[in-house]
Each structure stands twice: as C-alpha cells, then as structure tokens.
C-alpha cells in the first residue's frame, strides 16, 4: 500500500518548519505501513487494540516520549486516516505517559576548573586543542553545542586589536542572538585563531586540506565542516575518566554546569539564569540548575538573622518563686 499523498500545506512564514513537519509525518506513515506489513495486518482495518500496540511500540522505539512528539505522531496518523477516508483507530487511544527527563550531568566549579585545566594541558593535536577552546566557549557563553559549533569567524565582532567581544549565533527555533564575549574567552578565541591558522595546509590534512583552508567555521573539523558533538564528547569523556570526576560530562553538561555555578557560587537568581540560557519557560531553567547542599543551608541560615532573637521561655522550674509574688506576699 502506498503512503498517503498529503495535500499541499497552506502558506507559512517558515519554510523550514513546513519541510520538517512533512518529514515527521512521512516517518510516522512509513512506520505504520512497515509495522502492519510485518504483522500481516491491514492498516485500513486496524482494531483499537492493534493500534494501541503499534503506538506504544513506535513511541518506545523512537526513544522520545515527550508530549510534543506524541502529539505530532497522532496528528500524522489522523491526517493519514482522514486521507484514506476510513475510521481512525487511534482516536480514543491514550498516549503513553511521558517519562521524566534523565538527570542533567553537571560539575561544580572546582571540578570544572580541573577539567578545563586538564584539557588545556593536553593540546598535542589539533583535535585536543580544538576541544579545549571549544569547551571554554561553551562554558563561558552557556550556549548549546550546535550554536557554537556552527559559529563562523564572520559572526564575531572584534575590538580594535582584533579580539572578539561578541558573537552572533543562530539559536533554537531559528532566532539570532548576540552573546557577549568575556575577557577570558576573548583571549582564548584570539589564541585559537592563531593555532587554527598554523594548521591550515598541513600535510596531516592533505586529503581534505583545501576544504579545511577555506572553512569559515570557528571550530572547524579536519575536513572543514563543523566539529561534531560525538568527537567533542569523546574528548570530554576521556578527560573525565582520567580525572575520576563524579560524572562523565557532555557538551550540554557544560551548559548545565554554567547555570548551576551562576546560581550556587555567584548568587544569580533563576530569572537571570533564564536570560543567559534563553529559555522561554523558567521551569526549564529550574530543571537545568542544581542547588548545592551548602547553598541551601546558607540560605536557610539567613532566616535566622531576619527575626529578633527569641525570648527565653517564661516557664519556671519546679520549686522556684517569682520575685514579684514574694513582694506581694
């Protein structure tokens, strides 16, 4: 049976969103046809029980149980059955419960300093030097990996001496943002550009040297393309194991760590951290931050100084007498 041929969608401002939605619908249709074919079932005559079984397996196989993914899948299936003009067996099926997101990996300030120092000491190769400077860029901006990995040198605003003072990134959802570059990161990016220029044209990149030399990406891989998340995470994983840190940090963990350190060590509130991370919902920010036990204790200790000292108990020990009563007697 052929996939349903959707009617041309209405005009939308964002063509990328339109294309991605069509691909998502096609994936849901293909999964349905493949599943029914494997189980020798007719997709036009699915029972409610079979539809529920397919839906659970599809969500579990995709590894995505977020509500948005489930709504999208149900919309694609509803579109298909409306196109086929047959009853939709998925109409009254309750979607699987969303599982809570896994705990975010993060490091406190002292462990993160050890990690960055370790990466800085191990810069024998281009990839090791790239990982050190990329880790600093991710931490000092609190940006997502894709936002920094796709950064071009033309997106950097330079001061009169050629040091980056701000970068323009394309954020989640396609919006563009200007991020300030701190003094420490500005010096590191200047240093990184010198290192990168020294590697252009080296024999080690002979097979892909031309593309690498022409690449405009700040953190270009050996072939000139943006450095991959997988390669970067491999460097982080090895460094974390060498240092025996409490967790294996990932690129996104640097973003979590930045938010946590701002909250715990510098007294920033959730609203301020939300602005740095560019979250629309502050509840997302709260999930990305982790309050240390010491910080919680110091916060509660502050309550002790906000009220006057409590008066001593007015009760009397057995056998004692009040002076005013003795005078009256």
- Whole-model pTM: value is 0.65
- The predicted model gives 240-268 an average pLDDT of 92
pLDDT attached to residue 75: 84
Whether 103 is in a domain gets the answer no
Residue-level pLDDT at 316: 43
Residue 201 shares a structural domain with residue 278: yes
Give the residue with greater pLDDT, 57 vs 322. Answer: 57
The count of structural domains within the chain is 2
Catalytic residue among 170, 252, 287, 295: 252
167, 179 in Cβ contact below 8 A? yes
Active site residue 290: no
**Active-site residue (options: 235, 255, 256, 278):** 255
176 in any annotated domain: yes
**Structural domain for 79, as ranges:** 15-84
The C-alpha atoms of residue 216 and residue 115 are separated, in whole angstroms, by 28
Residue 27 annotated among the catalytic residues of the structure = no
- Pick 291 or 30 by higher pLDDT: 30
288 belongs to the catalytic site: yes
272 domain-assigned: yes
Catalytic site residue from 39, 56, 172, 280: 172
Which segment of 9-18, 175-184, 199-208 scores lowest on mean pLDDT?
A: 9-18
The whole-chain average pLDDT of the chain stands at 81
Q: What stretch of H or E contains 166?
A: strand 164-170
Residue 56 — φ and ψ, nearest 5°? -65, -45
47-97 tens-digit pLDDT: 988 988 888 887 776 655 445 567 777 888 888 888 889 999 888 777 666
Q: Structure tokens of 170?
A: 């394309």
Could you give the CA distance from residue 39 to residue 49 in angstroms, rounded to a whole number? 13
Catalytic residue status for 252: yes
Whether residues 212 and 280 share a domain: the answer is yes
Q: Is 177 a catalytic residue?
A: no
- pLDDT recorded at residue 282: 87
Pick the catalytic residue: 31, 144, 199, 235?
Answer: 144
Query: Is 26 inside a domain boundary?
Result: yes
Q: Quick check: is 193 catalytic?
A: no
């Amino acid at each position: 049976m052929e996939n349903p041929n959707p009617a041309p969608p209405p005009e939308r401002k964002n063509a990328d969103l339109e294309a991605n939605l069509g691909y998502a619908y096609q994936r849901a249709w293909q999964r349905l046809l493949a599943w029914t074919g494997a189980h020798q079932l007719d997709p036009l005559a699915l029972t409610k029980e079979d539809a529920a079984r397919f839906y659970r397996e599809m969500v579990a196989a995709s590894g995505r149980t977020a509500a948005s993914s489930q709504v999208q899948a149900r919309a694609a299936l509803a579109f298909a059955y409306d196109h086929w003009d047959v009853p939709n067996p998925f109409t009254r099926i309750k979607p699987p419960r969303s599982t809570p997101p896994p705990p975010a990996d993060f490091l406190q300030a002292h462990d993160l300093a050890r990690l960055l120092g370790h990466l800085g000491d191990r810069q024998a190769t281009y990839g090791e030097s790239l990982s050190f400077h990329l880790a600093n860029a991710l931490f000092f901006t609190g940006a997502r990996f894709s936002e920094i990995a796709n950064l071009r040198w033309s997106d950097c605003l330079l001061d009169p001496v050629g040091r980056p003072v701000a970068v323009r990134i394309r954020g989640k959802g396609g919006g563009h943002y200007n991020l300030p570059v701190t003094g420490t990161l500005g010096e590191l990016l200047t240093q990184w550009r010198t290192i990168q220029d020294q590697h252009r044209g080296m024999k080690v990149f002979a097979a892909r040297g031309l593309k690498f030399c022409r690449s405009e990406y700040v953190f270009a891989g050996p072939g000139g393309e943006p450095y991959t998340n997988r390669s970067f995470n491999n460097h982080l994983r090895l460094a974390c194991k060498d240092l025996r840190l409490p967790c294996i940090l990932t690129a996104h963990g640097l973003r979590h760590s930045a938010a946590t350190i701002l909250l715990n060590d510098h007294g920033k509130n959730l609203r301020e951290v939300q602005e740095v991370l560019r979250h629309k919902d502050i509840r997302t920010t709260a999930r990305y931050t982790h309050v240390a036990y010491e910080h919680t204790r110091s916060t509660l200790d502050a309550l002790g100084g906000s009220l006057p000292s409590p008066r001593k108990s007015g009760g009397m020990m057995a056998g004692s007498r009040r002076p005013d009563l003795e005078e009256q007697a």
